[in-house]
Amino acid sequence: MKKRTLGSTLLQISELGLGCMSLGSDENEAIQTIHAAIDAGINYIDTADLYDFGRNEEIVGKALKDRRDQVVLATKVGNRWNQSKDTWSWDPSKKHIQEGVKESLLRLNTDYIDLYQLHGGTIEDHYEETIEAFDELVKEGTIRYYGISSIRPNVFQRFSKHSSIQSVMMQYNVLERRPEEFFSQLAKQSISVIVRGAVAKGLLTNNWQNKIKSSGYMSYSEHELIETINQLTQLLDQDQTLHSLALHYLLQNNAVSSLAVGARDQKQLSENISAYYSNPLSNQQVTFIKEHTHAETYTDHR
Looking up residue 98, the CATH number of its domain turns out to be 3.20.20.100
Q: What are the two backbone dihedrals, phi and then psi, of residue 11, each rounded to the nearest 5 degrees?
A: -75, 135
**Residue 300 belongs to some domain of the structure:** no
Amino acid at 28: N
**Residue 299 belongs to some domain of the structure:** no
Q: Which residues pair with 188 in a beta bridge?
A: none
Amino acid at 41: G
Domains identified in the chain, total number: 1
Mean pLDDT of 48-71: 95
Mean pLDDT of 194-202: 97
Could you read off the pLDDT of 187-196 as tens digits, one per residue? 999 999 999 9
How much is the pLDDT for 213? 96
The residues that are catalytic are: 51
In this prediction, residue 108 has a pLDDT band, given cuts at 50, 70 and 90, of very high
**Residue 117 belongs to some domain of the structure:** yes
Q: Which domain holds residue 253?
A: 3-292
**Residue 196 belongs to some domain of the structure:** yes
Q: Which residues pair with 81 in a beta bridge?
A: 88
**Residue 194 belongs to some domain of the structure:** yes
Q: Above 90 in pLDDT, residue 88?
A: no
How much is the pLDDT for 79? 87
Could you read off the pLDDT of 121-146 as tens digits, one per residue? 999 999 999 999 999 999 999 999 99
Taking phi over 0 as left and psi of -120 to 50 as alpha, with beta for the rest, 239 belongs to left
Could you read off the pLDDT of 219-269 as tens digits, one per residue? 999 999 999 999 999 999 989 999 999 999 999 999 999 999 999 999 999
**Residue 134 belongs to some domain of the structure:** yes
Long-range CB contacts (within 8 A, 24+) of 175-178: 175/200, 175/203, 175/204, 175/217, 175/218, 175/220, 175/225, 175/228, 175/293, 175/294, 176/200, 176/218, 177/293, 177/294, 177/295, 177/296, 178/151, 178/296, 178/297, 178/298
**Residue 229 belongs to some domain of the structure:** yes
How much is the pLDDT for 81? 75
Mean pLDDT of 6-35: 96
How much is the pLDDT for 224? 97
How much is the pLDDT for 48? 96
Cα distance from N-terminal residue to C-terminal residue, the chain: 37
**Residue 19 belongs to some domain of the structure:** yes
How much is the pLDDT for 87? 86
* Number of CB atoms found within 10 A of residue 199's CB: 25
In this prediction, residue 105 has a pLDDT band, given cuts at 50, 70 and 90, of very high
Q: Above 80 in pLDDT, residue 84?
A: no
Rounded to the nearest integer, the mean pLDDT of the chain is 96
